[in-house]
Amino acid sequence: MFSKILAALPLVAAVALLGACSDGSDSARYRLPGCADSGSCQPNPPLVIGGERPSMVALPADYDVTRRYPLVMVLHGRGVNGLVQSLYMDLLDGVDRRDYILVYPDGLVAGDGRRQWRSTPTCCDTPAAEADAISDVGYLSGLIEEAAATYSVDTSRVGLIGHSSGGFMALTMACEASHLVTSLVQLAGSTFVDLELCQPASERVSVLSIHGDQDDTVFFDGIEGRYLSAPAVAQRYAMLAGCDTANPQAQADVDLVASIDGAETSVTSWPGCLRGSAVEFWKMNGGPHIPAPWVPAGLDQFVGWILQHPRD
């Protein structure tokens, strides 16, 4: 599915806010602890975390433990790995340019020999015998907690960027690990058809959902009984956020992909989301599963969403 990404390298989501949050006092809300809170972050930390299932980490060249940095985790598509996905989305170069910490883990190798994430039973042609065998929610949650304990992280900005299989995984994390994840951008992924399989979120999560209407891998219109259509993904998270889903609003178009003339991406938002959150869906008109080449300013939108949407 994802081998074409390698050819795209030389050329080198919707915002939905998951907010099934309680209206309780802030004192009852979970706050991700970190070494920055106690001043115990080490100036020369390791660049690998995760123990027996390691993940690489990239720090800004001028990393300083007296500052706090947003944490960005990239979740790759099926058949590649964290490094390839980071290069495709220009996330490694952005570490110095935009001052964030990047974690780029690898999914496990499935029975077909390709790496992917275990997120929903219907994602990515997972063999039936493997569909429920492993959930990566615990692994990724542990990486986030370890990163916060190791690096000087701004825990109000902990974001995921997922593509394809990684998009499915990011949306699942918004269901099951909303106490850790503050925002996410998902490109060409989807989520459970059955709403009950998405466990209620304890905190709001800013979700930018992006999908091309010419995607021939994860279909824009979804597959009945397997995964939601791209518009339905955004509408679901808008509903969970308490937004006014009856009044979608068109925003200015965005130019993401250089190979498509003009600003090809239409933007829809929903007003009135809980706690002042925003919900948007970005539809790439004419966009494929693996867009390339990106407009440089378009690539910056991904990390920009995470930086611009901290948790209060």
Give the CB-side neighbour count of residue 17, counting CA atoms within 13 A: 26
- 227 strand-pairing partners: 223
Q: Containing domain of residue 219, as a range?
A: 4-20+36-308
The pTM of this model reads: 0.89
Phi (first) and psi of residue 25, to 5 degrees: -70, 155
Q: Is residue 256 part of a domain?
A: yes
The reported pLDDT for the residue numbered 158 is 96
Collapsing DSSP to helix, strand or coil, 177 comes out as coil
In Å, what is the CA distance from 219 to each residue of 193, 237, 261? 14, 19, 22
CATH at 145? 3.40.50.1820
- Over its length of 312 residues, how does the chain's per-residue pLDDT go in tens digits? 444 444 444 434 344 444 434 443 344 567 899 999 999 999 999 999 999 999 999 999 999 999 999 999 999 999 999 999 999 999 999 999 999 999 999 999 887 888 889 887 667 666 556 555 568 999 999 999 999 999 999 999 999 999 999 999 999 998 889 899 989 999 999 998 888 887 656 778 888 999 999 999 999 999 998 899 999 999 988 887 778 999 999 999 999 999 999 999 999 998 888 876 778 999 999 999 999 999 999 889 999 999 998 887
The reported pLDDT for the residue numbered 291 is 96
Q: Is residue 96 part of a domain?
A: yes
Q: Is residue 76 part of a domain?
A: yes
Q: Is residue 30 part of a domain?
A: no
**For the chain, what is the domain count?**
1
Q: Is residue 43 part of a domain?
A: yes
Q: Is residue 92 part of a domain?
A: yes
Q: What is the DSSP string of 265-306?
A: EEEEEES--GGG--EEEEEETT--SS--SBPHHHHHHHHHHH
Residue reference for tokens 């969970």: 240
For 122, other C-beta atoms within 10 Å of its C-beta total: 17
Q: Is residue 174 part of a domain?
A: yes
Residue 274 CA to residue 99 CA, distance in Å, equals 29
Q: Is residue 31 part of a domain?
A: no
The reported pLDDT for the residue numbered 242 is 78
Burial class (CB in 10 A: 0-12, 13-18, 19+), 65: middle
**205-212 and 249-254 beta bridge pairing:** unpaired
